[in-house]
Structure 1
């Protein structure tokens, strides 16, 4: 079964689908090992880890797509890819979609911000006209061809024009062919509930960022509310950064590292990246 077909099967099953967004192959493998049925890629995380820069449009299409390709190859579960704005006009969107289909992506998130875009929970965002984004959604639908790629239409209009305009845009993106609607950065439980009420006939996406603008509800709370997909966009990045910082500070101060239960043992890490498997392949060809 192809990754898009597997994702669509998951979407047809009852219950919510929640998973972390990852930014590298180690995070992808850890999420798969933890038992998540799918993962997302994080544009914020990729920009921070690859460039050491904030999610403010610094990543090129080539950099993003190369990292997305590596992540997809590293796991056997569906990957939903953050593709920002599609990196240009409808022609660029078509090429971007064709590339990720070839990589084996299960789904994509396409947003309506102006370029250079910003993290959805940053200030100073701008959005393109609704009809321009509608054309991008239609181009993505056409470019996926018969791959069954899941297309998530995202609007950042809430921060600029208010929730009602975001809802209106979401409805037009649904009519243009988006499979799932993503209203970015609602600012209260009441706004989340209003989104669910407004879209009774299409799966909805929620984005949880600890310290962001949207209330950090639990997966169970979001499921009861009516959301189908939930990404924990920065949980891995923030927790990983804290752990690495702790151990580096400990090493600098003490000259050693306390290998407690939070420390990944070398053998466990070798197992994660399948050293024995590739060693056997190497030996079989000698």
Structure 2
């Protein structure tokens, strides 16, 4: 794999939509869909990996382990939503160092109060947290995405001050999360424009919502909105499992899944594992290490799990 550094994407003239994912399967799906980068969603990751809602219980080890798994199976840049950075600034430093060394390309840290408490950190304390995060990334290509949770509708001047202080502390990008709750500027995109007019930064546009138009989002690029976060993976996975599982439970047969999603343009002969065999990397690699490639496990499994009816996209005509 040849990985394009995130800074290269930041320097081009394109805007990127970034699916928020939770594991290697959701990452592979985003890659097959054509997306260029992904973000581990803290809430989706928590529910999918532990069965516990996002109560800030995930550890640095769990984040670093998943980062290592994802960056080992794709060359897409990986963002991680690390919320409040695991605790006091020293813990933020340690956590960001672990995740950066695992190959993470950008880490989101917020200015929320720690330990699940209400409110925000005072600006000076937030700056210490962001400095610690940036120091933890030293010696790597990892970038800092600072999330500002201060309201853009209440005391806009403090919002601007916070963003500028975070940039001075080392933030490479800003996520103005409270755009999601803005009501006084006429629309979320209007609030985003105002932010872009007063803070000169590379922005992450938070949580693409139903009804938001691509032209309106594209128009924000001139104000620095380079990345657009979008949640769909976790919802889609749960809905598909509930839908298919309901049919199996009610019919006590397993025919439904074979035709239910034909309209999508994707189809697996036997298992989604065929998507991971796609490209031949593992078959070719193991075949190179044996005198009898036909007996290699990768070769045998590839033949078992893939077939002539596999479809890897609407344009994959066979």
TM-score by length of 2: 0.77
In the alignment, the residues of structure 2 paired with residue 59 and residue 169 of structure 1 have an alpha-carbon distance, to the nearest angstrom, of 27
Residues 1:99 and 2:98 are matched in the alignment: yes
Equivalent residues in 2 for 1:21-36 (5 A)? 21-36=20-35
Matched, 1:126 2:119: yes
Gaps of 5+ in 1: 118-123
**Distance apart, 1:162 and its partner CA:** 5.8
User: Deviation digits for residues 223-279 of structure 1, max 9, x if unmatched?
Assistant: 2023111110x2111122111110001111112241225164244622212286545
Deviates more, 1:244-253 or 1:151-160: 151-160
2: CA distance between counterparts of 1:164 and 1:247?
Answer: 51
| SS of 2:218 mapped into structure 1 | helix
SS in 1 for 2:79: strand
Are residue 254 (structure 1) and residue 251 (structure 2) matched? yes
Determine the structure 2 residue equivalent to 1:121: none
Q: Indicate how the Cα distance of structure 1 residues 74 and 163 shifts in structure 2: closer, same or farther if over 3 A, else same.
A: farther
Cα shift at 1:282: 4.7
Judge conservation of contact 2:24–2:70 (CA < 8 Å) in 1: yes
SS in 2 for 1:208: coil
Is residue 217 from structure 1 mapped to residue 212 from structure 2 by the alignment? Answer: yes
Q: How many residues align?
A: 273
Task: Give, in whole Å, the separation in 1 of the partners of 2:56 and 2:136.
Answer: 24
Q: Is contact 2:46-2:54 (8 Å) kept?
A: yes
How far apart are the structure 1 equivalents of 2:275 and 2:217?
31
Please point out which of 165, 168, 172 is paired with 1:172: 165
How far apart in 2 are the matches of 1:110 and 1:83? Answer: 6
1:143, CA displacement in angstroms? 2.6
- Is the alpha carbon distance of 1:281 and 1:19 closer, same or farther for their aligned partners in structure 2, counting shifts above 3 Å? same
Larger Rg: 2
**Whole-Å separation in 1 of the counterparts to 2:27 and 2:39:** 9
Q: Give the TM-score taking structure 1 as reference length.
A: 0.85
Q: Is the 8 A contact 2:84 2:110 kept in 1?
A: yes
**Mapped partners of 2:156, 2:53: distance in 1:** 26
Instruction: Say whether 1:265 aligns with 2:254.
Output: no
2:76 equivalent to 1:83: no
Gap runs ≥5 in structure 2: 182-186, 291-295, 297-318
Higher relative contact order (CA 8 A, sep 6+): 1
Cα distance change, pair 147–132 in 1 and its aligned pair in 2 (3 A): same
Runs of 4+ in 1 over 4 A off after TM superposition: 159-164, 279-283
Q: Describe how 1:58-207 pairs up with structure 2 within 5 A.
A: 58-117=57-116, 125-158=118-151, 163-186=156-179, 187=181, 188-189=187-188, 190-199=190-199, 201-207=200-206
Q: Which residue of 2 aligns with 1:55?
A: 54
Alpha-carbon separation, structure 2, partners of 1:282 and 1:248 = 36
Q: Is the 8 A contact 1:155 1:182 kept in 2?
A: yes
Distance 1:59 1:181, change over 3 A: same
Q: Does the 8 A contact of 1:209 with 1:235 survive in 2?
A: no
